[in-house]
Amino acid sequence: MASLLSERQKEELHRSILDYLHSQNFTEAFNALQSESGIQYTPDPKAKYNGLLEKKWTSVIRLQKKIMDLENRNALLVEELNTSPGKRAASQADWVPRAPPRHVLTGHRGVVNRVTFHPVFSLVVSASEDSTVKIWDWETGEFERTLKGHTRAVHDVDFDPKGDLLVSCSSDLTIKLWDVQNEYKNIKTLVGHDHVVSTARFMPSGDLIVSASRDTSIRVWDVALGHCLKTYSGHSQWVRSVLPCDDGRLLVSACNDHTARIWDAQTGEVKMDFLGHENVVEVAIFAPIAAYPHIRELAGLSTTDRNKAPGLFVATGGRDKLIKLWDATTGQVLRNLAGHTNWVRALVFHPTGKFLLSAADDYSIRVWDLKTGRCTKVVDAAHSHFVGTMTWGRALVSGAKAPADGTAKSAEDDVEKKINVLATGSVDLTIKIWTP
């Protein structure tokens, strides 16, 4: 069996043992070890090996006792933490943000365009007009590092499903991949768009990236090769965003041409046009399956419909200050949600599917009850300037596990366990973290 010790460590161990055997008058063992190890050792009271074995032995025992004491204390602290009011609040299914925020993160010198959470660790990443990407610990509020490489404004950031890679895109016409496990080293730069790249997101499989640009196109990229595989055209103006649905079969885009569209992610075929906004559509997102029953009830659709295919409903927000809920199969508006007094810039469905959260240039965050279509909560002055981005945490509360039989989690299983944390970013140059 290969030794765990280096040659120097072996020699020091042998000399320490020889010193111990000599001090205990174990002459035969002393001579035998000298012979087999090939070390000629002359005991010296002033040598560093004198009494070294006994000292190491007693220090190991002390360390073992200390470790046991620390483990016991840690177990007590974990138990106390798990039963604390804050922990209980963190796992409350219906939590929605309220002032004040837990942390206000400062450091960017330009508008914060996008925030995103790591799918496992307590990290939040921000993209800014100052051409940098910054990494923060959202639990402590501490700044961790700045990623430099883009030469103009960074518009979007996203982690792959495992959290091993980070993608960013910029006005410098590039998309960059960063290796999270290798000190966030920039490992690839994807080039192909002819104008500002406004969105870059990983597909659910993690092996593809979808991007949208001011050049009016949507592109699909191979992560491993760094090549553009497909280019989809159809919008006539700046494509503000593009997102995949949960299974990656469909894409939804928002555009300056006042429309949102659903695309077949594989072929680029336009499946549906959403016509109804009277100005630029800033954001378009798919509703999670957990929201389907509430949307159907709101719209007066059949509540016995059990279709749980991803991509059945879409929410959009635009510069006409309206939020619209759409039936993705018919292209019909199911409900207009009016209340914001300026451009709607960000939308997030609550993990339970019961609420839709919106952020706007009126500085506020609003919470909409999807069963009634009413605004049930307003966080006024959430920022001191336009609120341009908002995202919900992706990690699960500690202890959340997939079903033992290997089947996929149901929406009900997942919503109870997704961690309660929201991040917003603003023209006021700050990121705010909202927790119970």
pLDDT confidence tier of residue 1, bands split at 50, 70 and 90: low
Give pLDDT, residue 136. 97
Kind of pairing, strands 387-392 and 422-426? Answer: antiparallel
Distances (CA, A) of 23 to 37, 52, 59: 19, 11, 20
Most distant CA pair in the chain, distance: 97
pLDDT, one tens digit per residue, over 346-357 is 999 999 999 999
Give pLDDT, residue 412. 46
Give pLDDT, residue 46. 75
pLDDT, one tens digit per residue, over 235-253 is 999 999 999 999 999 999 9
| Residue range 278-286: mean pLDDT, rounded | 96
Task: Check if the beta carbon of residue 285 is closer than 8 Å to that of residue 260.
Answer: no
Amino acid (one-letter) located at 336: N
How many percent of the chain have pLDDT more than 70?
Answer: 92
| Residue range 372-391: mean pLDDT, rounded | 96
Q: Is the pLDDT of residue 365 over 80?
A: yes
| Mean of all residue pLDDT scores within the chain | 89
pLDDT confidence tier of residue 199, bands split at 50, 70 and 90: very high
Give pLDDT, residue 68. 87
Could you tell me how many residues make up the chain?
Answer: 436
pLDDT confidence tier of residue 84, bands split at 50, 70 and 90: low
Please, which residues have CB within 8 angstroms of residue 375's CB and are 6 or more apart in sequence?
Answer: 337, 339, 366, 367, 368, 369
Give pLDDT, residue 307. 85
Collapsed DSSP state (helix, strand, coil) of residue 155: strand
Reported in sequence order, the residue ranges of 172-308 that DSSP labels E, i.e. its strands, are: 174-179, 185-191, 197-202, 208-213, 218-222, 228-232, 239-244, 250-255, 259-264, 270-275, 281-286
Collapsed DSSP state (helix, strand, coil) of residue 423: strand
| Residue range 219-247: mean pLDDT, rounded | 94
Task: Check if the beta carbon of residue 284 is closer than 8 Å to that of residue 345.
Answer: no
Q: Which of residues 36 and 92 earns the better pLDDT score?
A: 36
Give pLDDT, residue 422. 96
Q: Which of residues 383 and 23 earns the better pLDDT score?
A: 383
Q: Is the pLDDT of residue 210 over 50?
A: yes
Give pLDDT, residue 409. 45
pLDDT confidence tier of residue 398, bands split at 50, 70 and 90: low
Distances (CA, A) of 425 to 129, 412, 428: 12, 29, 8
- As a whole number of angstroms, the distance between CA 235 and CA 239 comes to 7
Task: Indicate the range of 256-265, 271-280, 413-422 predicted with least confidence.
Answer: 413-422
pTM equals 0.76
Task: Check if the beta carbon of residue 423 is closer than 8 Å to that of residue 383.
Answer: no
3-state percent breakdown (helix, strand, coil) of the chain, nearest 5:
20, 35, 45
Please, which residues have CB within 8 angstroms of residue 341's CB and are 6 or more apart in sequence?
Answer: 321, 360, 362
Among residues 233, 283, 215, the alpha carbon closest in space to that of 253 is found at 283
pLDDT confidence tier of residue 109, bands split at 50, 70 and 90: very high
Q: Is the pLDDT of residue 190 over 70?
A: yes
Q: Is the pLDDT of residue 2 over 80?
A: no
Q: Is the pLDDT of residue 114 over 70?
A: yes
Instruction: Please list the residues that pair with 112 across neighbouring strands.
Output: 128
Residue with tokens 């080039």: 191
pLDDT confidence tier of residue 270, bands split at 50, 70 and 90: very high
pLDDT, one tens digit per residue, over 249-266 is 999 999 999 999 999 999
pLDDT confidence tier of residue 434, bands split at 50, 70 and 90: very high
- As a whole number of angstroms, the distance between CA 367 and CA 365 comes to 7
Q: Is the pLDDT of residue 304 over 60?
A: yes
Q: Which of residues 47 and 225 earns the better pLDDT score?
A: 225
pLDDT confidence tier of residue 411, bands split at 50, 70 and 90: very low
